[in-house]
Structure 1
Amino acid sequence: MRVAALYDIHGNVPALHATLAELEVVKPDLIVIGGDIISGPMPVQTLEMLFQLDIPVQFIRGNGDREVVLAFDGEALALEMSDSVREITSWVAEQLNRSHRDFLAQLPLTYTLEREDFGDVLFCHAIPTNDEDIFTPLTSDAVVATYFEGTQQRTVICGHTHVQFERRLGDLRILNAGSVGMPFADKPGAYWLLLDGDRYEHRFTLYDVEAAAKQIASTNYPQAKQFAEENVRKIPTAQEAMEFLEALAQKNRPSTS
């Protein structure tokens, strides 16, 4: 069975369009959409593009999807949420109709792909028990082990940090699919993961980032020009992102001393 894992699209329609065009050649049997689907410049167009796919699609939720539902419902957002993320979340919620909201609200935290030949695969956005904890290639094995304690599957696919990487803890294999719409990597493009039998391949799809940046900058997204410049034309490197995210995560982790 061939499975394409597309994570962290973040409303980047040009990146999604290019990735789906490549999937027409790859011909997966299933697409897994790994959360943080619409928190970005073109949220409704992103959902509608995914709804029109004619192959099986399994969605799971990300923290961004959960927060947009809260904003749609008029519920309080987390006090620690930055002003910029709060602005984005509120704007995205305003673009949605009730059916969009209801779809996002029912998304599961995880999805298990059952496979007799190669073992089951668990898909989650961040970690199996929540959609927001951060770990990176720089995180200690001891910390990562606490996040995956009790996981029955031997392979886990995750996202959330927008960086493609692989970690192994004993016989547990953890693969980060990267990000289609807001990647942290050495060159701009769309990053995703392909599962083909017992093989796992980090994939990269090139697209016209100049045209995409212009398209995104012309939207009424409140941070459109910034998104176009910093997440499409020029992007943070994986190393820069890992160092920043690891420092952020360490501040939020309980002390082990």
Structure 2
Amino acid sequence: MTTDVIRTVVAIYDIHGNLPALNAVLKELKNVQPDHILVGGDIVSGPMPRETLDRFSSLNLPVHFIRGNGDREVVTAFDGKSLPETMSEEGRRVTEWAAEQLARSQRDFLAQLPERMTLQVEGLGDVLFCHATPHSDEEIFTPISTSEYISRIFAGVEELFVVCGHTHMQFERQVKGLRILNAGSVGMPYAEQPGAYWMLIGPDGFEFRRTTYDLETAARDIEASGYPQAQEFVKENVLAIPTATEAAQFLEGLIKRHRTDE
């Protein structure tokens, strides 16, 4: 836990190696001028992993990191260990490719990242940041999940505010006095229109933000990256994207299947 009180912090989640999207957000932050940045995981699992992680080293303000499931899996692949049996062949291929792009120092950096972090924000108090939920970097909930289900997976949280990502869509839920906000995704958003989605947090509360960027140029850069699924990434996550409604319905199906299998 960071004991210093922060006036403003920007939450950047789920970049997924989309460097053009990240660059657009960082350019906009020159006007926003936040005091800190919180990077909420799934940084490198995508087209430009090495360059995306390197990009943060050039910033002249404090940057905090937490690890996402995608980062954890890339570290596993880097180490030559077995990836989850449930991972698709395509998922396995792109994860191993991302691992091959990283330097040993980058692997070591990702491996030591915490899974959650609490920051004190002026006017808000303690804000808990995690990738998916406080207890898991893979757990899924959506804007249409039941309150009972959300209460269960967030049980034991003492903070009043939780900021998360993982499901790539901006939304807010409130259960039993706990306010849970999904910051959305910079690199692979599910929303009504393409762009890079993030959150500004400060004394005035929580503000969902969207940054536009040159999608055609980004598409060309991604296609030239050597990423095995570059064309699919461009078509499905840059030039056109699933809506939050479509994604929520699909993810709810996964939740139901998982609970049936338990």
TM-score class normalised by the smaller sequence: over 0.9
What does residue 118 of structure 1 align with?
124
Distance 1:15 1:75 in 2: 31
**Equivalent residues in 2 for 1:106-145, closer than 5 Å:** 106-115=112-121, 117-145=123-151
Structure 2 portions without partners, runs of 5+ = 1-6
Cα distance in structure 2, aligned partners of 1:155 and 1:228: 34
Q: Is 1:194 aligned to residue 200 of structure 2?
A: yes
Q: Larger deviation: 115-124 or 14-23?
A: 115-124
Q: 1:115: Cα distance to partner? A: 4.1
Between the aligned partners of 1:116 and 1:49, the Cα distance in structure 2 is 28
Structure 2 residue 232 is matched with structure 1 residue 226: yes
- Does residue 74 (structure 1) correspond to residue 114 (structure 2)? The answer is no
Q: How many residues align?
A: 256
- The two structures have a TM-score, normalised by structure 1, of 0.97
Structure 2 distance, partners of 1:7, 1:53, is 17
CA distance in 1, matches of 2:23, 2:13: 14
**Alignment match, 2:49:** 43
Give the counterpart of 1:87 among 76, 90, 93: 93
- Say which of 71, 88, 104 aligns to 1:65: 71
Q: Determine the structure 2 residue equivalent to 1:165.
A: 171
Work out whether 1:181 is the aligned partner of 2:180: no
Which amino acid in the other structure matches residue 141 of structure 2?
Answer: F
Instruction: Please tell me whether residue 153 in structure 1 is matched to residue 159 in structure 2.
Output: yes
TM-score by length of 2: 0.95
Give how far 1:170 is off: 2.2
Residue identity over aligned pairs, in percent, reads 57
The yes-or-no answer on 1:208 pairing with 2:217 is no
Q: Is the 8 A contact 2:121 2:203 kept in 1?
A: no
Query: For the Cα contact (< 8 Å) 2:122–2:203, is it kept in 1?
Result: no
Residue 34 of structure 2 corresponds to which residue in structure 1?
28
Distance 1:95 1:116 in 2: 39
Structure-2 separation of matches of 1:146 and 1:254: 16
Letter in 1 for 2:57: F
Separation in structure 2 between the aligned mates of residue 131 and residue 237 of structure 1, nearest angstrom = 23
Q: Deviations over 1:19-45 (max 9, x none)?
A: 000011000001000000010000001
- Alpha-carbon distance in structure 2 between the residues aligned to 1:231 and 1:68: 20
The structural deviation recorded for 1:88 is 0.9
Q: Report the alpha carbon displacement of residue 218 of structure 1 after superposing the two structures with TM.
A: 1.5
Q: Tell me how far apart the structure 1 counterparts of residues 180 and 123 of structure 2 sit (CA, whole Å).
A: 19
Offset from partner CA, 1:101-128 (integer Å, 9 cap, x none): 0000000000100247422000000000
- Offset at residue 133 of structure 1 (A): 0.5
Give me the whole-angstrom Cα distance separating, in 2, the residues matched to 1:152 and 1:144. Answer: 15
Q: Which runs of 4+ in 1 moved over 2 A?
A: 114-118, 253-256
- The residue type paired with residue 106 of structure 2 is H
Match of 1:76, as an amino acid?
S
Cα RMSD, aligned residues only: 1.2
* 3-state SS of paired residue (2:125): coil
